[in-house]
């Protein structure tokens, strides 16, 4: 079940970008930093393109479709998650619009961007939690070996080049750009160290936990 490792890995990578966005937002709102619009723009591009063009379509077309065929009781859960895939696009549009206003209007607009990012991050954690703690266990119970062969092929990019290796390389490049732009401890770009940030600005906990901590928690 290679696909399960790939799905959870893709969740972690997206969560890492969201965590980075929340961190960057806190640095501006509570640390007095200037918004790094190049970095934030790259992060917004990632959360726009990666789920919409790469991750959600594979879940919908392969994992969810086959699970529906094997277990009709999963339909309400899968209906909800597919509706969330559609809602996700709208939420990212709100983030894009808020960032555009920041680029035009500067600091006064940043609170709207911060709020949109926090809302999307909370939405994403809930969605991923349902997939990892509800959908994947159901899939492990109900899907057949031949189903997993199809799903593994899709998630490794061997059956659909549009969703597979080529697109994966494009998103890996964008992810590397984000890491190169982001300051420590998130990335390798220029900026203040975490210790500097902590000394100068105690950080209120307005955001969800880091992704690695979140994934180990049991479902609510
Ligand atoms: Fe999903
Ligand atoms: Fe997912």
Where do the domains of the chain lie, and which CATH numbers do they carry? Answer: 2-200 (1.20.120.520)
Nearest to 21 by CA among 35, 45, 40, 46: 40
CA of 55 to the centre of ligand 1 (A): 7
Radius of gyration of the chain from Cα atoms?
18
> Rounded to whole angstroms, how far apart are CA atoms 177 and 44?
12
Helix (H) or strand (E) holding 162: none
Could you tell me the sign of the dihedral formed by the alpha carbons of 203, 36, 96, 56, in that order? Answer: negative
Q: Where are the beta strands (DSSP E) in 44-175?
A: none
CA of 45 to the centre of ligand 1 (A): 18
CA of 180 to the centre of ligand 2 (A): 25
pLDDT bin (cut points 50, 70, 90) of residue 185 is: low
Question: Which ligand sits closest to the CA of 64?
Answer: 1
pTM of the predicted model as reported, rounded to 2 decimal places: 0.77
> Rounded to whole angstroms, how far apart are CA atoms 69 and 138?
12
CA of 126 to the centre of ligand 1 (A): 10
Contact 61, 85 (CB under 8 A): no
CA of 102 to the centre of ligand 2 (A): 29
Q: What is the mean pLDDT of residues 146-159?
A: 86
Nearest to 208 by CA among 143, 119, 132, 139: 119
Contact 154, 3 (CB under 8 A): yes
| Better pLDDT: 176 or 191 | 176
CA of 118 to the centre of ligand 2 (A): 18
CA of 211 to the centre of ligand 1 (A): 16
Residues 159-177 have pLDDT tens digits of 555 556 666 677 777 788 7
Q: What is the mean pLDDT of residues 197-210?
A: 38
Question: Which ligand sits closest to the CA of 80?
Answer: 1
């Amino acid at each position: 079940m290679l696909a399960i490792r790939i799905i959870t890995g893709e969740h972690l990578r997206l969560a890492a970008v969201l965590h980075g966005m929340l961190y960057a937002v806190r640095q501006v709102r509570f640390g007095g930093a200037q918004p790094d619009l190049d970095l934030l723009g790259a992060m917004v591009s990632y959360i726009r393109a990666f789920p919409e063009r790469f991750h959600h379509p594979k879940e919908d077309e392969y994992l969810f479709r086959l699970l529906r065929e094997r277990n009709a009781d999963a339909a309400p859960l899968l209906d909800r998650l597919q509706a969330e895939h559609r809602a996700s696009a709208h939420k990212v549009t709100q983030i894009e619009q808020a960032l555009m206003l920041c680029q035009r209007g500067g600091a006064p607009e940043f609170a709207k961007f911060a709020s949109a990012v926090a809302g999307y991050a909370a939405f994403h954690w809930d969605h991923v939690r349902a997939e990892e703690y509800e959908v994947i266990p159901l899939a492990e119970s109900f899907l057949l070996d031949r189903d997993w062969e199809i799903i593994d092929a899709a998630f490794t990019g061997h059956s659909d080049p549009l969703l597979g290796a080529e697109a994966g390389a494009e998103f890996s490049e964008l992810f590397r750009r984000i890491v190169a732009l982001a300051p420590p401890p998130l990335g390798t770009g220029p900026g203040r160290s975490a210790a500097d940030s902590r000394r100068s600005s105690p950080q209120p906990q307005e955001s969800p936990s880091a992704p690695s901590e979140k994934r180990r928690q049991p479902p609510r």
